[in-house]
Structure 1
């Protein structure tokens, strides 16, 4: 199982770029190539004034969707493996009571490390599901990832001006800007829903752990310590997830100011 964990961790870093290359459109040699294609196609798309994405920009967005899909799938598999491995390690830690301090320290340290990696995997699943649901909005940070050329800089200035006054003098939002705002709202709705689901699961997990804690005899101090620690951790994580859900709900309800803040100050 350890080998599988290492393999999945390596795949999470390396495989998505290659997996995303299969499908409509084309793959990209690396991040600079992707950024260049996005910035060039976005400038042309914005200048066209159309709401529908141009073929070049749609190709980039489709690739980005597949990239996030691959990342989410691998991260989910990694999370499952880490949870299973963590359960085995913490059970071994509980059973190791009285078998030596060194063994207990090694097991506890390993358990903490696996728990932290599992939390990282959970966050990765959440973030990549969000990017998969709203791939266009998730490409926007790449527009400002490096100093833009003169034409793109002018385009970004137009976006800032229109976001500051989205209705404009004609009381009408430009179609391309409206699509951007709508997808940005979808991006935050996605995280609000994902975070709410995670919060619900963590609350249920915390309740189950505390019930088991209450049923465990007091002499089993190590078992109670592990159950209590994870009960507290899951409760705190559920609180964090609730805060994330609320923040994203607020942004989704009025996305234009947040989108303007992004283009002014970065992601």
Structure 2
């Protein structure tokens, strides 16, 4: 419960207090600071971030690092708790039916929370690897001033032009395309690692089920359920890995679709 609450409330203050006394960026002014800094960056014609955008990206990097660490700690706690609960469930033959049902419900709940924590770790590691790209959704949505709207129109036009052979890519747009590719490479690598782990878990679960006596139906059902769940999740994440790999190999069309509201 403590780590769950910390995951929600702690990353913002931790990110804002990072560095030497913070940099003036926080959750309340993040969107406005990003939009102003992005317009200035696009107008600068340079690859390097101006100080304003550099502060925003640095804040967002620390924010995702804090979230990833807290989510990882929460995942460790949930895995340990889940192991204890499932072991208790397998030994619950002498308990009344209502208590066994309550114990089974607790096992399922903790397992689902562990899956959520795993997804949170993956998403926040991806955000820490490419914080600039993970900020881009904040440029759209809600009211936008004329300067930002004009800048986004120019971004769309340049992205569409960059798909034509021989067109020169502006420095800022080149950085955006490269970072967008890095964003998807990160998720492809993360998903591939998790797929490997899940396949190993599925194989181990089926082996444990095969070694369990046929008379111990509860244990066989538990290990079989883990085997099926791990296999299904590995298939889902394999699709995620392939999709992100495909996007990373040619990021400009996907980035254009994003700015056009199609991604």
Distance 1:27 1:226 in 2: 51
Q: 1:169 to 1:89 in 2, by over 3 A?
A: closer
8 Å CA contact 2:62, 2:128 repeated in 1? yes
1:26 counterpart = 2:23: yes
What is the DSSP-based 3-state SS (H/G/I as helix, E as strand, rest coil) of the residue aligned with 1:265? coil
- For 1:100, the equivalent position in structure 2 comes to 96
Q: Quick check: 1:43 aligned with 2:39?
A: yes
2:126 alignment counterpart: 130
Cα distance change, pair 79–92 in 1 and its aligned pair in 2 (3 A):
same
Partner Cα distance (1:168, 1:247) in 2: 24
Number of matched pairs: 261
> How big is the shift at 1:100?
1.1
Deviations, residues 148-199 of structure 1 (Å, cap 9, x unaligned): 1110000000000111111679621101000000000000000000000000
TM-score scaled by length of structure 1: 0.95
Runs of 4+ in 1 over 2 A off after TM superposition: 27-31, 167-171
Q: Which residue of 1 aligns with 2:116?
A: 120
For residues 15 and 238 of structure 1, the distance between their equivalents in structure 2, rounded to whole angstroms, comes to 31
Match of 1:233 in 2: 229
- 2:241 is equivalent to residue 245 of structure 1: yes
CA distance in structure 2 between the aligned counterparts of 1:84 and 1:169, rounded to whole angstroms: 55
Mark the CA change 1:266 to 1:138 in structure 2 (over 3 Å): closer, same or farther: farther
Match for residue 7 of structure 2? 12
Separation in 2, partners of 1:169, 1:200: 39
Assess if the C-alpha contact under 8 Å between 1:141 and 1:266 holds in 2: no
Once the two structures are superposed, residues 220-243 of structure 1 have per-residue CA deviations (whole angstroms, 9 ceiling, x without a partner) of: 111111110011001101111100
Q: Does the aligned pair in 2 maintain the 1:79–1:121 contact within 8 Å?
A: yes
Alpha-carbon distance change, 51 to 29 in structure 1, aligned in 2, over 3 angstroms: closer
- Is residue 2:79 matched to residue 1:83? yes
* Offset from partner CA, 1:24-51 (integer Å, 9 cap, x none): 65253424x1000000011011011111
Distance 1:29 1:186 in 2: 25
Is 2:57 aligned against 1:61? yes
- Give 5+ residue unaligned stretches, structure 1: 1-5
The TM-score with structure 2 as length reference comes to 0.96
Aligned 8 A contact 2:163 2:252 in 1: no
Deviation readout 1:119-155 (Å, 9 max, x if unpaired): 0000000000000000111110011132211100000
2:198 and 2:144 map into 1 onto residues whose CA distance is: 42
Give 1:97 shift: 1.6
The one of 204, 207, 213 aligned to 1:217: 213
CA contact (8 A) 1:144 1:266 kept: no
CA distance in 1, matches of 2:24, 2:217: 55
Q: Which residue of 2 aligns with 1:3?
A: none
